[in-house]
Amino acid sequence: MAAIPIKNRLSPKAPQDTPSRILEAAERLFLQHGFAATSMRMITAEAEVNLAAVNYHFGSKDALIEAVFTRRLGPLNRQRLGHLDRLESLAEGAPLKLETIVEAFIGSAFVNEGSANDGARLFAQLLGRAYSEPSGGVRDILYNQNKEVIKRFKAALKKALPHLSAEELVWRMHFVFGSISYTQSGTDALRLVAKYELSDGSYPQTVVKRLLPFLCAGLQAPATMHAPTVLAKVS
């Protein structure tokens, strides 16, 4: 039998099949420039394939965008659910530790799979961008493919944070997604805060390590009081 399966080769200029080359080029360019600003010509140039290949293999640009997401979202979410399954069966019905839940969600998002493949890390960043895209299109794909995962994590969080109402929990998850997306979608934004170079850079594990305590503390904050805030006073 053959020595090494072709798809596991990571050598430079690995001669992949055309659809894969297109998917990966699109992933990189969508991340860098956004969806609307990335043309099929840019993609086919980056992938070093013919312009007509995209329509031949995927049908249209929109279909390509969808394909970029569906290819990775399935495995990623299976991994997240598997991680949560294992944790819950170990706990035998008891609420999980908050940090464990968040780490299972966030960690899976940042350091994927065997982690040898850095395409997965690129995709994690792309996910961050996708969540901040205009409604419709990409967002619907994400909603449909993620709803099961979100449902499961919401249930786990609900047990771990009994002091929060269902509504409050939904908001806090929203805020959590915000921090994760923003952080995932590229460390460029960090320059807005720190113009100097950061010492530990943007290595995924480091980011997760810094993000975790922030998110857990935020989630555990006392429930919101329903009195008018200071800002409500007229100016």
Which of the residues 87 through 116 are near a copy of itself (CB under 8 A)? 100, 103, 107, 111, 114-115
DSSP letter (8 states) at residue 117: -
Q: Please report, as residue ranges, which positions from 37 to 66 form the binding site for a copy of itself (by CB under 8 A).
A: 37
Choose, by CB under 7 A, the member of 20, 32, 42, 113 that binds DNA: 42
Return the number of the residue (54 or 120) whose C-beta is nearest DNA: 54
Q: Please report, as residue ranges, which positions from 158 to 197 form the binding site for a copy of itself (by CB under 8 A).
A: 167-168, 170-183, 185-186, 188-195
Would you state the structure tokens that stand for residue 40, as one six-digit string?
């099929």
Report in angstroms how near the CB of residue 10 gets to DNA at its nearest.
21
Choose, by CB under 7 A, the member of 26, 29, 49, 106 that binds DNA: 49
Choose, by CB under 8 A, the member of 120, 131, 152, 161 that binds a copy of itself: 131
Choosing among a copy of itself, DNA, none, which partner's interface includes residue 155 (Cβ < 5 to 8 Å by kind)?
Answer: none
Query: Can you spell out the DSSP letters for the chain?
Result: --SS-GGG---TT----HHHHHHHHHHHHHHHH-STT--HHHHHHHHTS-THHHHHHHSSHHHHHHHHHHHHHHHHHHHHHHHHHHHHHHHTTSPPPHHHHHHHHHHHHHS-TTS--THHHHHHHHHHHHHTSPSSTHHHHHHHHHHHHHHHHHHHHHHH-TTS-HHHHHHHHHHHHHHHHHHHT-GGGGGGT--SPPTTTT-HHHHHHHHHHHHHHHHHSPPPP-S--GGGS--
Choose, by CB under 8 A, the member of 134, 162, 201, 233 that binds a copy of itself: 134
16 binds a copy of itself (CB under 8 A): no
Choose, by CB under 8 A, the member of 16, 28, 32, 71 that binds a copy of itself: 32
Whole-angstrom Cα distance, residue 86 to residue 24? 31
Choose, by CB under 7 A, the member of 28, 61, 71, 121 that binds DNA: 61
Choosing among a copy of itself, DNA, none, which partner's interface includes residue 8 (Cβ < 5 to 8 Å by kind)?
Answer: none
> What residues line the site for DNA (CB under 7 A)?
17-18, 38-42, 49-57, 59-62
